[in-house]
């Protein structure tokens, strides 16, 4: 696999072209950011862990009938994926109250949300990724009502496959952030699914096993990421 030019560099990943115009390589970095990139740091081996965890979860979702951009994992830090046009919407699915929804709505952290809810955030760094509703996304010409319906349905479908998988591994899937892209006129799941983009709580101790440990300076960050890898891929 000959890797081509750097197409895009984000906060946690780089995207490279390949000789196939329909495929790109995602390179996973150890760089970590939080609070709209105001906090920066490094989580050692995070890139390797997120690459392997994402591979396992994309394979699981494909088996569950969900289209994803995953093609194959090339090595420790690189994943071959389908080249999509990313829809600039973060689809957040929540099973338990945590983070911004606790703050915004004054809800108690840890309360169950059943059935799960889906939120949309408009991906725009300058605006700080604001929470938006369907009308805002139509106003912004980001997505049609049909696409928004599909994003919400796919968000719930992903959650239905992931939740029991994590329960079996003694982890509670509190919430997750999903991104979708268009590939040959079809919406498919893209980006990554990892402790950077989900909240996982240990079922026994209730401890965070995700990027909240970095956001809140809770310590044992690398250990938590390694434990996620062991439970998901072990």
Q: Which residues bind ligand UDP (CB under 6 A)?
A: 92, 98-101, 129, 175-177, 197-199, 211
Nearer to ligand UDP, 18 or 201 (CB): 201
Whole-angstrom distance, CA of residue 40 vs CA of residue 11:
9
* Nearer to ligand UDP among residue 1 and residue 37 (C-beta): 37
Nearest residue by C-beta to ligand UDP?
A: 99
Torsion of CA 143, 27, 174, 64, to 10 degrees: 70
Tokens of 27: 């390179």
Measured from the CB of residue 121, what is the shortest distance to ligand UDP in angstroms?
Answer: 7
Residue 4 or 110 having the CB closest to ligand UDP: 110
Min dist. Cβ of residue 210 to ligand UDP (A): 7
Cβ nearer to ligand UDP, comparing 18 with 155 = 155
Least Å distance, CB 90 to ligand UDP, is 6
Q: Give whichever of 38 and 141 is closer to ligand UDP, judged by the CB atom.
A: 38
Nearest distance, CB of residue 170 and ligand UDP, angstroms = 18
The least CB distance from residue 175 to ligand UDP, in Å, is 4
- Cα 25 from Cα 46, distance rounded (Å): 17
| CB-based contact 47:28 (threshold 8 Å) | yes
């Amino acid at each position: 696999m000959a890797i081509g030019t750097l197409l895009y560099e984000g906060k946690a990943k780089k995207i490279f072209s390949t000789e196939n115009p329909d495929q790109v390589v995602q390179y996973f970095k150890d760089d970590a950011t939080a609070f709209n990139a105001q906090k920066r740091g490094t989580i050692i081996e995070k890139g390797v862990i997120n690459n392997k965890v994402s591979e396992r979860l994309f394979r699981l979702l494909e088996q569950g009938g969900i289209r994803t951009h995953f093609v194959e994992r090339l090595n420790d830090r690189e994943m071959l994926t389908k080249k999509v046009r990313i829809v600039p919407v973060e689809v957040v699915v929540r099973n338990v109250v945590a983070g911004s929804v606790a703050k915004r709505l004054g809800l108690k952290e840890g309360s169950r949300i059943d059935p799960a809810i889906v939120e949309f955030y408009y991906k725009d760094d300058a605006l700080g990724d604001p929470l938006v509703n369907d009308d805002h996304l139509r106003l912004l010409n980001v997505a049609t009502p049909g696409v928004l319906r599909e994003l919400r349905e796919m968000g719930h479908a992903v959650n239905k496959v992931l939740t029991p998988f994590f329960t079996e591994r003694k982890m509670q899937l509190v919430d997750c952030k999903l991104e979708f892209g268009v590939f040959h006129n079809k919406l498919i799941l893209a980006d990554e699914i990892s402790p950077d983009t989900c909240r996982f709580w240990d079922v026994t101790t209730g401890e965070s096993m995700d990027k909240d440990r970095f956001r809140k300076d809770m310590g044992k960050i690398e250990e938590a990421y390694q434990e996620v890898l062991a439970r998901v891929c072990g």
